[in-house]
Chains A and B, each alone.
Chain A
Amino acid sequence: MSKPLFHKLPPRAIRIWQWSNSIGNLFLFGLPALYYLFFQDSVNQVFLISLIVIISIIYLLYLLWIPFLQWKKWRYSVDENEIHLKRGVIIKRETLIPLNRVQHVDTRQGPLLQWYNLSTVSISTAATTHEIPNLDSEIALRVRSTISTNARLAKEDV
């Protein structure tokens, strides 16, 4: 059996992660704000400032570096028997989905993805849903149709 052929996500995916991180992680700054609101009388200046600094560093990491690593680690492959997914920056995750288990495949596109002409493919089995995020729209359609055709063929075998 030949080794599966792995594909990477388009580099534009990094932009998407950067955008979503930059918005989604804003809540982190709520922590010092809450601290300030609750302990107005007895705010520890050093603690407050170090908290803000640490949060800013985390925020910047997630804005500038992590999306790049995410993109670097993401691999997917679809062949006639199964789908492989490999991803994870800190915790590496490998997933194998037998194609005859696939129930349906969707592509999704939010406004942000639309702007970059990207789509997310989500693959549902009877137990779980997995996503291949931020694929080029054209490729996403191709992946979707490959999966659904192969899934149909795989089913007939069983």
Chain B
Amino acid sequence: MYEFQRQHPIASVSKTLREIRRNIISILVTLFVGASSEAIPFHLLIYIGIPLIFVIGVVAWWRFQYKIEDGELHIRSGIFVRKNLYLTRDRVQVIDISSGVLQRLFGLVKVDIQTAGSTSRDASIEAVTAEKADLINRLLRNGAQQKSADEEAESVESEKSKVYSLPGKHLLIAATTSGRFGIILSVMGTIFSQIEPVIRESEIFDYLFSMLPSQTDGIMIASIILIVIVAAWIFSFFSTLLMYGDFSVEVKKEEIVIMRGIFEKKRITVPYNRIQAIYVNEGLVRQPLGYASAHLESAGYGDDKGTGSLMLFPLIPRKKVEKLIKEIVPQHDVKIDGYTPPFKTLRRYIFRAAFIILLITGLVYYFLYNAAWIWIFPALSIFWGWLKYKDAGIGWDRDNIILRSRTLSKTTAIIKRNRIQDISINQSPIQRYRNLCTIQVYVASGDHGKSFSVKDLDYDDVQMLYVDLQKRKEKETERELTIPQRKAETTLPGWKVNVA
């Protein structure tokens, strides 16, 4: 360990795959453009491109070296630009040892070394043998643990950590109602629009036409759309199954460990002091069924994309959300008085939700498709606006602030007040006239931030919160809470209230 060493050669393959996955969009674009352009011979692109990517992977593996000396991890990497990363053992917060499909095929593991900063994503050793991983773990960890050997023994004893796992039935429901469906549909739509001309020119179309007895073009297109939707749903079903299969959350004294994935096992350790906010999502389909998903925002612990949003629990009956929060993240288990937007804002909510849909429907009805049933869309959007109005709310006490709102799914965010990065109040001219405002609260999450906002709250209420936040620095005893004089309309987060 005192000499520089390389990873297992298999790391070159996993590096290559990761590069491909990271640049998938530009690769697809190149392929599509290349396929349709005459200037560059297409096969040349493939014959040069694919080996090139693998060569890059191999060189990246060759150039990646690491050593541990005096409790300091030193990683050298980079193909053209040499990058040196030094991590001292005091800074190491968490070491995650996990294994993907590739690693498991060769009996290897992946070691992620995490510090508070976002640079820790680079301190990931892709493929080493289990013994080496163990050695790394001991060399980097023992410094922190050494001084408290007794404590450790004690903590091992007391650390009968509780594990919560996702029942199979819930996993199936989660996969069925997964919101990934929409994203996949749009991706498929783009791909389809690219390959559609190819299909049209080929004989498949003629063949299909001859197979189906006397179909009009319209029915043909409708059935194609239906097929695409079903395919997207099936795809999202299975991808959710693979992603959240084998899901479990382990609660330890100072951290929680989230494990998920069937083929690619992911293990994410989140220390409690890095949790910035908890939010619970109730999707359009899931809410009527009585289910929700719980998420958390953590600082510094982003995934590859640098977002800090992590799935805390993919699916849970809403009756149990409160219990879940109490047991996994007890500091976020609070109940406080909430204030909803005044009744006069209902029409603003409905107007915002329905206006564009109403306009489009009107135009379509008038010019294109004269059928009464399409007015169901504006009716739905009015209902949607009413839901948005009903779900909006804000509440705060000395240490917490809860924001509840709905875009498509209903989101309830529970934020510790000392985790707020900044807070903004926005007022449009009409809002100013009606004494309303929109509040936006930022918390840290991964490399960037995440904001939660509620629209059309009473300006005076929010002003109270604003004043209250400024008092934050005064002595604990002197601090008194400013809350609106009027009676609280609701209790947040309000799981129980809505169930009854």
Contact = CB atoms under 8 A, between A and B. Distances in A.
Interface in A77-117: 81-82, 88, 90-98, 101
A130 interface: yes
Contact of B422 (A1, A81, A95): A95
A37 interface: no
B424 to A, nearest CB: 4
Main secondary structure of the interface of B (DSSP, over half): strand
Given A126-B444, A127-B421, A128-B421, A93 B471 contact: no
Contact of B449 (A95, A96, A125, A157): A125
B421 A101 contact: yes
A154 B231 CA distance: 55
Contacts of A96: 422-424, 466, 469-470
B420 interface: yes
A73 to B, nearest CB: 12
A1 B470 CA distance: 9
B200 interface: no
A101 to B, nearest CB: 5
Contacts, number: 73
Contact of A125 (B422, B426, B450, B474): B422
Interface in A102-147: 125-128, 130
B473 A91 contact: no
A128 B449 contact: yes
Given A1-B471, A81-B472, A127-B450, A94 B442 contact: no
Interface residues of A, number: 22
Contacts of A157: 473
Given A125-B422, A127-B442, A98 B449 contact: no
Given A91-B428, A128-B442, A98 B472 contact: yes
A100 to B, nearest CB: 8
B429 A94 contact: no
B427 interface: yes
A147 to B, nearest CB: 13
28 contacts: A1-B470, A81-B472, A88-B426, A90-B428, A91-B426, A91-B427, A92-B428, A92-B432, A93-B425, A93-B427, A95-B422, A95-B423, A96-B466, A97-B421, A98-B422, A98-B472, A101-B421, A125-B449, A126-B444, A126-B449, A127-B442, A127-B443, A127-B449, A127-B451, A128-B422, A128-B449, A130-B422, A157-B473
Enumerate the 6 nearest inter-chain pairs by beta-carbon distance, A residue then B residue, closest first: A127-B449, A126-B444, A127-B421, A127-B442, A92-B427, A125-B421
Given A1-B470, A88-B427, A128-B449, 10 more contacts: A1-B471, A1-B474, A91-B426, A91-B427, A94-B426, A94-B466, A98-B469, A101-B422, A126-B421, A126-B444
Interface of B: 299, 418, 420-429, 432, 442-445, 448-451, 466, 469-474
